[in-house]
Amino acid sequence: MESSAIQIQHARILTPQGWINNGSLFIKNGKIVGIDQGDESGVKSSEQLTFGDERWTQVDAAGKMLLPGFVDVHVHGGGGFDVMKGSSEELYGMCRFHASRGTTSLLATTLTATHEEIISALEASAKVVQDTDRQPDGAHLLGVHLEGPFLNPARSGAQNPDDLREPSIEEFESFWSASKGTIKLMAIAPELNSAEEVIVHAVNKGVTISLAHTDADYATMKKAVEWGATQVTHLFNGMRPLHHREPGVAGAGLMLDELAVELICDGHHVHPDLIKWVFKIKPEGKVIMITDSMCAAGCPNGEYYLGKLPVLMHNGQVHLKLDDGSLGSLAGSSLTMIDALSRTVAFTGKEIADIVPALTIHPATQIGVQDRKGSIELGKDADLVLIDDDFQVHQTYVLGWQVYDAASH
């Protein structure tokens, strides 16, 4: 399976070294093989190519921005599709939806559920991850983010408290087997019994550990870092808050430089000024933008389900539906990565180029795929998104295949 040779020309290309104005990007066999600097420096290429060959399909970017495709490491669904339904078609549908919003790679994120329900979701995800012969028509499913069931009921949020349980190496191993080793990220509350053993065990298998839905104190968070944890799930949400005498989970996420922090930048989960402050105080590479989106993303207002829990979506916000029909706590989001980018630029006042790494190379680095994903560089996967100055997605490319074109939708 090979994609065609493509030249995207007349683009503003964002590279790790900065913008290239009126540049061209050359794609062959799913990889970035040439970058035209747009000036007298000429073309940098990874192999000897005849760029004037008529075999190259030319795409006119007409001055739009060509960015590395977004990498979403925390996404439960979207476009009406849901990871926990345990179906390949649900996963492909979710990947198609998010590709239309600029996401080119993602982790299928589970929810707390019964053992059997999680196993089903993991098996479906593994099947999609390993189906490398299928021509991409949506975002590239890189693996699994196991969120739950090893979480604290005191901070369960929209995770079903009835199915929460203590960490277990035995259960983790059954999850690992069902996923065929595709679990890239695991969320866990470090204060639970046996959490240390499970964290160390998972880290030894190459799994990134994110501390989540936790009531841990600051001392426990520091210990978790020693055990190998490197991330905090959706900072400020589902955790012990910052207190001046007990920094808690939120304080640890802010103060411990070893921890990258996920942020849901929709303006509802975290105050815009606080988002700006987090970008200011965390070290470079340690802010990871996510959607935490559920199936209702991209769908009309109404009632949906997050796992077994009924939720209501209204004006872009998703809340648990309480027994009396009123709104409970936030339950995931309807955010997309392109909206996260546009809102964060507005919230922080930063340039686009300063924010894009938090949606691309930083999450790619957290899950260990930075050698092929997350930036526009020679030899990397041709995962790209073409957007205009109004943050509208015009085209999305995954492994060199055009998987979305706004002109045809």
pLDDT digits (tens, 9 = 90+) for 322-341: 888 888 888 889 999 999 99
Query: 273: exposed, middle or buried (C-beta count within 10 Å: 0-12, 13-18, 19+)?
Result: exposed
**Residue that is written with structure tokens 């087997």 in the block:** 177
Q: Of 292, 339, 381, 383, which residue is the catalytic one?
A: 292
The pLDDT of 25-31, averaged and rounded, is 96
Q: Is 292 a catalytic residue?
A: yes
Residue 96 has pLDDT above 60, yes or no: yes
Same domain, 52 and 129: no
Residues 218 and 302 in one domain: yes
Say if residue 52's pLDDT is above 70: no
Q: What is the pLDDT of residue 47?
A: 58
pTM for the whole structure: 0.96
Q: Nearest to residue 265, comparing CAs of 279, 251, 252?
A: 279
Helix orientation angle between 272-281 and 337-348, rounded to the nearest 10 degrees: 80
Tell me whether residue 324 is in a domain.
yes
- Domain range for 126 is 69-366
Statement to judge: residues 84 and 56 lie in one domain = no
Any idea what the Cα angle at residue 146 is, between residues 360 and 140, rounded to 5°? 40
And the tokens for 90?
């649900």
pLDDT at 39: 63
Q: What are phi and psi of 33, to 5 degrees?
A: -115, -10
Q: Are residues 151 and 268 in the same domain?
A: yes
Contact 113, 84 (CB under 8 A): yes
d(CA 39, CA 9) in angstroms, rounded, equals 13
57 and 81 together in one domain: no
**Looking at residues 223-232, what average pLDDT do you find?**
98
Confidence of residue 375 (pLDDT cuts 50, 70, 90): very high
Q: Are residues 56 and 189 in the same domain?
A: no
CA separation for the pair 191, 200 (Å, rounded): 14
Banded model confidence at residue 54, pLDDT cuts 50, 70, 90:
low
What is the rounded average pLDDT of the residues 286-304? 96
- Scan for tokens 């200011």, then name that residue: 280
Q: Let me know: does 5 contact 28? Beta carbons within 8 Å.
A: yes
Same domain, 313 and 388: no
Residue 371 forms part of a structural domain: no
Domain count, the chain: 2
